[in-house]
A and B are shown apart, each in its own frame.
Chain A
Amino acid sequence: MNNDASQTIAVCFRDNLGRLILRDAQGREYRDVRPFRMFPITDPEGWISICDSQCSELLCIESIEAVPPESRHIFIEELNRCMFTPVIEQITQSVPVGDSVRLFIVTDRGATDIAINSEEIYRLSGNRILIKDLSGMRYLIPDWHKMSAQSRKILDMYL
Chain B
Amino acid sequence: MRQAGLVSTNIPYEAGESPRATFTHDLDQNLRYAKGTLVLTNRRLIHEESPAGTAPGPQQSGFGAAESWPLTEDVTFKACAYAGVGELELRTRDRLLVRLHYTIGRHPEACAFVKCFEALAAGPAAGDKELSSQESPTAVTLERSADDASATTMGSLARLIRFAKPWTGLFFLSFILSLGCTAAGLIPPYMTMPLIDKILIPFQNGASIDESRVVWYLMGLGGAAVLAWLLGWARTYVLAWVSERVSAELRNTIYSHLHSLPLEYFSEKRTGDLIARVSTDTERICLFLSVYVLDFGADVLMIVMTAGILLYINPLLAVVTLCPFPLIAWLTYRVRKTLWRGFTKGSRAWAEMTSVLADAIPGIRVVKAFAQEGREIRRFKETNDYVLRANDRVNTVWSFFKPMVTLLTDLGLLVIWGFAVWLIFQNRITVGVLTAFVAYISRFYARLESMILMVSATQRAAASAKRIFDVIDEQPRIVESPNPVVPGRLNGKIEFQNVGFSYGKRDVLQNLSLTIMPGEMIGFVGPSGSGKTTLVNLVCRFYDVCEGAVRVDDIDVRDLSIAGYRKNIGIVLQEPFLFYGTIAENIAYGRPDASRTEIIDAARAACAHDFIIRLPDGYDTLVGERGQLLSGGERQRISIARAILISPAILILDEATSSVDVETEKEIQQALENLVEGRTTVAVAHRLSTLKRADRIVVLEDGRITGVGGHSELLSTSKTYARFHRTNAEMYLATMQHLKHDEENNGPVVEEAL
A contacts, CB < 8 Å to B? 16-18, 40, 80-85, 96-100, 102, 107, 109-112, 115, 119, 133-138, 157, 159
Contacts and interface: CB of A to CB of B under 8 A. Distances in A.
B241 to A, nearest CB: 32
A106 to B, nearest CB: 10
A138 to B, nearest CB: 6
B373 interface: no
16 contacts: A16-B94, A17-B91, A18-B91, A80-B31, A82-B82, A84-B103, A96-B149, A99-B145, A99-B466, A102-B146, A107-B33, A110-B54, A115-B146, A135-B142, A136-B505, A157-B341
Nearest to B150: A98
A18 B96 contact: yes
A115 B139 CA distance: 13
A110 B35 CA distance: 12
B470 A98 contact: no
B71 to A, nearest CB: 19
A119 B277 CA distance: 13
B104 A136 contact: yes
Given A16-B96, A137-B103, A157-B341, 17 more contacts: A17-B95, A81-B99, A82-B82, A82-B83, A83-B82, A84-B83, A84-B84, A84-B101, A84-B104, A97-B146, A98-B151, A107-B33, A110-B54, A111-B33, A115-B145, A134-B145, A135-B138
A109 B53 CA distance: 13
B145 A136 contact: no
A138 B89 CA distance: 23
Contacts of B146: 97-98, 102, 115
A112 B94 CA distance: 36
Given A17-B96, A84-B31, A119 B103 contact: no
Given A16-B96, A17-B95, A134-B142, A83 B151 contact: no
Nearest to A111: B55
Closest 6 CB pairs of A and B: A135-B105, A110-B55, A84-B85, A110-B33, A84-B84, A18-B96
B299 interface: no
Contacts of A84: 27, 31, 82-85, 101, 103-104
Interface in B101-152: 101, 103-106, 138, 142, 145-152
B34 interface: yes
B83 A83 contact: yes
B149 A98 contact: yes
A122 to B, nearest CB: 10
A99 B151 contact: yes
B32 interface: yes
Interface residues of B, number: 42
A133 B105 contact: yes
B362 to A, nearest CB: 22
B283 interface: no
A97 to B, nearest CB: 5
Given A17-B94, A136-B504, A137-B104, A100 B145 contact: yes
B236 to A, nearest CB: 35
A68 B320 CA distance: 84
A138 B99 CA distance: 22
Nearest to A102: B146
Interface in B271-318: none
A40 B82 CA distance: 13
Contact of B145 (A17, A85, A97, A119): A97
A119 B504 CA distance: 19
B32 A81 contact: no
B345 interface: yes
A100 to B, nearest CB: 6
Interface string B315-341: 000000000000000000000000001
Given A84-B27, A110-B34, A157-B341, A98 B94 contact: no
Contacts of B33: 107, 109-112
Contact of B31 (A98, A99, A109, A111): A109
A137 B146 CA distance: 17
B581 interface: no
Contact of A119 (B101, B104, B105, B470): B470
A159 B95 CA distance: 48
Contacts of A40: 83
A102 B54 CA distance: 17
Interface string B619-663: 000000000000000000000000000000000000000000000
A98 B103 CA distance: 23
B5 interface: no
